[in-house]
Amino acid sequence: MGFRDASLDTKASPAEVWRVWSDVNTWPQWNPDMKESRLDGPLKLGATGMINTRSGGKHDVVVTQYEEGRSFELESTALPGTKMAIRATIAPSGQGSRITQGFEPRGLLAPIVGPMMSGQILKTFNAVLGGLKQRVEAGR
């Protein structure tokens, strides 16, 4: 199916966005969809933790992709036979940054689950990115 994503521009620098977005344990402070989130240690490839969202419930996660200062990907078990990858990406843009959050269903049932869940998941991304933008711009 491939990644589906949403993006937003912010005046904050990539370094400032990374400082906030990479601190998984503080996501509920600015992410309106997040009830609880934690990593069992620093954000790095292979790190594990848990997220509890208002839209999708509680899931164990593992960091499956990591590029310092630029992007990371969390993968969780969404349903039996399906994993959900959520990717966060930061790119320089004009006088600030472009922040992008994407998702990709993976596994045996991904061709079925992906189309069923994509609309619901993408709806949450605009609010999540808006919360991140507000947080990083308030810290400027």
Q: What CATH number has the domain bearing residue 58?
A: 3.30.530.20
| Domain ranges, residue 41 | 4-138
pLDDT at position 1, please? 53
pLDDT at position 107, please? 83
pLDDT at position 75, please? 95
Q: What is the pTM of this model?
A: 0.88
pLDDT in tens, 14-32: 999 999 999 999 999 999 9
User: With a cut of 70, which residues of the chain have pLDDT below it?
Assistant: 1-2, 78, 140
Give the span between the Cα atoms of 115 and 132, in whole angstroms.
26
pLDDT at position 11, please? 97
What total of structural domains would you count in the chain? 1
